[in-house]
Structure 1
Amino acid sequence: MSHASGGYYLPEPSKWPIIGSIGLFLTLFGFASALPHNTTGAVGDLTIMYIGMAILVYMLFGWFGQVIGESEAGVYDAQVDRSFRMGMMWFIFSEVMFFAAFFGALFYVRTLALPWLGGADNNAATNEFLWNGFVPSWPLNVMPNPEGYSAYKEIIGAWGIPALNTAILLTSGVTITLAHWALKKANRGALIFWLLATVVLGFVFVGFQVAEYGHAYGELNLKLSSGIYGSTFFMLTGFHGLHVTIGAIMLTVMLFRAIKGHFTEENHFAFEAAAWYWHFVDVVWLGLFIFVYWL
């Protein structure tokens, strides 16, 4: 069992970091090994990747279960609480930088690269030698070499599913805040109700995005191979959808813990961490809606 020594918390040696490292290695190695290595485009055997993913899931259940058990046993002190908060803050900061890179790529393409290819800002030679006759416009649906390029029929408009998903995520930001207030007031019934509402809204968002992707692939022929527009669209919305899924799973765990009687008015950082993460994905989606779908 972990313990405090001289007023400073010291965790016991743990097997979980090495297990997680092995799982990550097998997942990435298995994925890389299965990538196509010839012109057929056939994906290889993914068994090693699935084994790695299974090990990661085992690690997550075991490690988080241990942390939850220690927290409920009252092992952690104020120093541990501070370390958890700082760790979550830095993690969210790293996620901000992650999405900033993709938003930066979108900005570079739309604001700089396309005008340069079109000859703007004294780049006539760029236009002449790299793509003669190119007309800069966004979204881009032309390629200098159309071989292997999946031209799309239509872009995804802002005022269909994206607008609905915006309303869903904004509403979920309100419901998670109401759940937090209820927790601070020791109103467990309201906590569970608003937390359940947030979880439902999160998975509804994911369901609508799956439907949107099906429409894009099946009817609009919009794919990752549809040039720079397709790649930036799916990279940004796809990674955001993954983060929403992760956030919804985190909130589901918080819901089960709340039903089980975990958390008090003073001790509930796990809930706060999940709420911080959820507000982060809300803010990222607003940027996506404006810069990817609307403008």
Structure 2
Amino acid sequence: MGTADDTAEDHGGHHLPADEDWPRGFGEASWWPFVSAAGAAGLYVGAALFLLGRGDVEIVSPMAGPAVFIASTGLFLGGLFGWLYHAFIADFWTRGTDEHSADTLRFAMVLFLGTEIATFGAGFIYYFFIRVGTWAPGELPHLLSSLVLANTAILVVSSFTFHFAEVALRKGNRRRFLGLLSATALLGIVFIGGQILEYYTFIVEEGFTLTSGIFASAFFGLTGLHGLHVTLGAVLIGIVLVRAFAGQYSAERHTSVSTVSMYWHFVDVVWLFLVVVLYVGAVANV
């Protein structure tokens, strides 16, 4: 029998990386993407239920939306972890370095980022239609604050630390790689904390909420979507960081580092676009 057949027999008749993802007889099918998709769909359901519970007539319980949203977030992250675990982590030590497989995974990340561009693009198109129409957003909070500027600087710096962490790994400087990757994870957490603080200021102190008008819906929709992506990126960096301290990366084996780096640079660029369009653009010509 061939090598592929021998590998399949060693893993219960399945081929890596999905050897444990589906009952016997389903080949390489994986149920983890379906779990992630169900969780992602639940996020939209939770947002819809939140709005239905906040109207003049409460169609559903006000707690239904947040409950579904939190449960869906857990489902999405759990599915994503299972998916990434079997793609990158399971049997890491026994797998050889296959540059063809690495290129395939990087190309898959490029395709994924293409879908993300379409997702954010839809939100920006919605906002642009609002902006070119009769622009009467009402009373706006102080959008372009020092907190936003500091948060922007933090995210930009985190992109540089991640880039140079990857450079250090490729050069075999493991200590520098671990230090810069740890700094990237910390900066990501600080950014998320800054956005939570901004939301608290807007919602609690200034009364600017999702239902405060058409601009508010676009603002919280886009910044919330980006915040979700940054949180996901922080989780991915955390997984990479744990694996890095376990010694699972080298100058020859770093596919998941480079793919997560691509994702993190993407959310950085999106945030800069958000700041220009939403924060700076919203107050222009008001």
- TM-score class normalised by the smaller sequence: 0.7 to 0.9
1:222 and 1:206 mapped to 2: Cα distance? 19
Q: In the alignment, what sits opposite 1:120?
A: none
Matched, 1:216 2:237: no
Q: CA separation in 1, counterparts of 2:39 and 2:97?
A: 33
After superposition, the Cα gap between the structure-2 partners of 1:58 and 1:166, relative to the gap in structure 1 and judged at 3 Å, is closer
Answer yes or no: is 1:254 the counterpart of 2:267.
no
Q: Which residue of 1 aligns with 2:31?
A: 18
Tell me the residue number matched to 2:58.
40
Offset from partner CA, 1:69-117 (integer Å, 9 cap, x none): 2343225633322221111000011111111111111112112x22xxx
Contact 2:233/2:263, CA 8 A, preserved across alignment: yes
Relative distance call for 1:257 and 1:215 in structure 2 (3 A) is same
> What root-mean-square deviation, in Å, do the aligned CA atoms of Structure 1 and Structure 2 show?
3.1
One-letter amino acid of the structure 1 residue matched with residue 278 of structure 2: V
2: distance between equivalents of 1:26 and 1:103?
A: 23
Conserved 8 A contact 1:26-1:48: no
CA contact (8 A) 1:24 1:52 kept: no
Q: Quote the residue 2:99 is aligned against.
A: 78
Alpha-carbon shift at residue 268 of structure 1 (Å): 0.6
Measured in 2, the distance between the counterparts of 1:4 and 1:107 equals 52
Of 96, 115, 129, 2:117 maps to 96
SS for the counterpart of 1:40 is coil
Partner amino acid, structure 1, of 2:246: K
Cα gap change, 1:54 to 1:234, in 2 (>3 Å):
closer
**SS of 1:173 mapped into structure 2:** helix
- Whole-Å Cα distance in 2 between the matches of residues 238 and 51 of structure 1? 17
Q: Distance in 2 between matches of 1:281 and 1:174?
A: 13
Letter in 1 for 2:98: D
Give the direction of change, closer, same or farther, for the CA distance of 1:81–1:106 in structure 2 (3 Å limit): same
Question: Which one is further off, 42-51 or 78-87?
Answer: 42-51
| 1:289 matched residue in structure 2 | 275
Find the residue that maps to 1:211 and give its secondary structure: helix
2:202, 2:208 within 8 Å by CA — same for their partners in 1? yes
Query: Cα deviations across residues 145-182 of structure 1 (Å, max 9, x unaligned)?
Result: xxxxxxx5x42321321111111011111111110111
Per the alignment, residue 66 of structure 1 pairs with 86
Using structure 2 for the length normalisation, give the TM-score. 0.78
Specify whether residues 81 and 214 from structure 1 end up closer, same or farther in structure 2 by C-alpha distance, changes over 3 A only: same
- Offset of residue 45 of structure 1: 5.7
Q: 1:43 to 1:218 in 2, by over 3 A?
A: closer
Give the counterpart of 2:178 among 192, 198, 205. Answer: 192
User: For structure 1, which runs of at least 5 residues remain unmatched after alignment?
Assistant: 115-135, 142-151
User: Any gaps of 5 or more consecutive residues in structure 2?
Assistant: 7-13, 23-28, 282-286
Paired residues of 1:183 and 1:265 also in contact (CA < 8 A): yes
Question: CA 1:231 to 1:79, structure 2 compared with 1: closer, same or farther past 3 Å?
Answer: same
Letter in 2 for 1:94: T
Amino acid aligned to 1:107: F
| Matched letter for residue 209 of structure 1 | Q
Task: State the 1:210 CA deviation.
Answer: 0.4
Q: Conserved in 2, the CA contact under 8 Å of 1:70 and 1:76?
A: no
User: What is the alpha-carbon distance in structure 1 between the residues aligned to residue 200 and residue 153 of structure 2?
Assistant: 21
Counting aligned pairs with the same residue, the percent is 31
Q: CA deviation at 1:30?
A: 10
> Which amino acid in structure 2 is aligned with residue 64 of structure 1?
L
Q: Write the distance in 1 (CA, Å) between the matches of 2:70 and 2:143.
A: 36
8 Å CA contact 1:185, 1:265 repeated in 2: yes
One-letter identity of the residue aligned with 1:81: A
* Secondary structure at the counterpart of residue 263 of structure 1: coil
Change (3 A) 1:53 1:160: closer
Q: How does 1:130-145 map to 2 (within 5 A)?
A: 136-137=135-136, 140-141=137-138
Give the number of equivalent residue pairs.
256
